[in-house]
Homo-oligomer: A and B are copies of this chain.
Amino acid sequence: MSPEAERAFAARLAASARRAEAALDAALPPEGAGAEGRLAAAMRRGALAGGKRLRAFLVIETAALFGAEEAGADRAAAALECLHAYSLVHDDLPCMDDDDLRRGLPTVHVEWDEATAVLAGDALQTLAFELLADPAAHPDPARRAEMCLILARASGFAGMVGGQALDIAAETAERPLTVEEIAALQAKKTGALIRVAAEIGAVLGGADAEARAALVAYGAALGAAFQIADDILDATGDEAAAGKRLGKDGEAGKATYVSLLGLETARARAAALADEAALRLAPFGPRAAALEAAARFAVSRTA
């Protein structure tokens, strides 16, 4: 990416993050004294403590391709971020990845306790569906029901949660995963939610079947590129910039794209996926420049 394109993209990413965070702030309960105030505080930490907001960006930018009303897109973007945040709060639990640091802050179960982390994650998942089902997301209930259905299919057993189960099992498997198995795992664990972020924007905007399919293919390629880049960063990146512990997969002897393909081949594969993602945006012309830049960013990022 040219420095100019990178700056333009960074500004768009920051703008959609601000919009999604304002919608999150409005949707989340207020923190305060007592058990509910504590739970609200934990939910807010999980949902509001930074992050790239890639999923919010995808909802907002794909919805904008079809001229969708902004306030509704912001709420749908907030829904995707709630779903993502719930998965991180639960993944960080001692019985899962046992992480004590997330985006430079103590994880929810460290700052509060495990029960609060389980409940905060649970309530963030619920809030994701509440945001999509609420008439404020879109006046047409067909679009709201469709968004709920798409999100559920991508994030449950057949998607994100199933992928997380595969990932945990891989840590104690008798043999390391193959590249094909890692791709299948990641397509569920992280790819599905990135893909449906683009699809939900399309549904919100009333895209026809062809445009929707193009954005689904874009999201799938972007998600795959993003995950390979994540493995590259885990092997080569800077912990301070990432705000979390790196190199864990290597230490655990876990197969990654980098360990199986080598650094250069992994980089080439990520770049090819970014090209594929960009290609899927051709029908939308220059209006999709920010989405194309996201695909380039996914593989060139340093955190």
Q: Point out residues on A near B: beta carbons under 8 Å.
A: 29, 34-36, 38-40, 43, 86, 90, 93, 95-96, 113-116, 118-119, 121-123, 125-127, 129-130, 132-134, 141-142, 144-146, 148-149, 151-153, 155-158, 161-162, 164-166, 168-170
Instruction: Please tell me if the beta carbons of A115 and B96 are within 8 angstroms of each other in the complex.
Output: yes
Instruction: Please tell me if the beta carbons of A95 and B123 are within 8 angstroms of each other in the complex.
Output: no
Instruction: Please tell me if the beta carbons of A114 and B127 are within 8 angstroms of each other in the complex.
Output: no
Query: CB-CB < 8 A to A133: which residues of B?
Result: 145-146, 148-149, 152
14 residue pairs bridging A and B, Cβ less than 8 Å apart: A34-B169, A38-B169, A39-B157, A39-B161, A86-B122, A96-B118, A121-B122, A123-B161, A126-B156, A127-B157, A129-B129, A130-B149, A133-B152, A141-B146
Nearest chain-B residue to A34 (Cβ)?
Answer: B169
Instruction: Please tell me if the beta carbons of A129 and B152 are within 8 angstroms of each other in the complex.
Output: yes
Instruction: Please tell me if the beta carbons of A126 and B35 are within 8 angstroms of each other in the complex.
Output: no
Nearest chain-B residue to A158 (Cβ)?
Answer: B29
CA distance A107 to B161 in the complex (A): 20
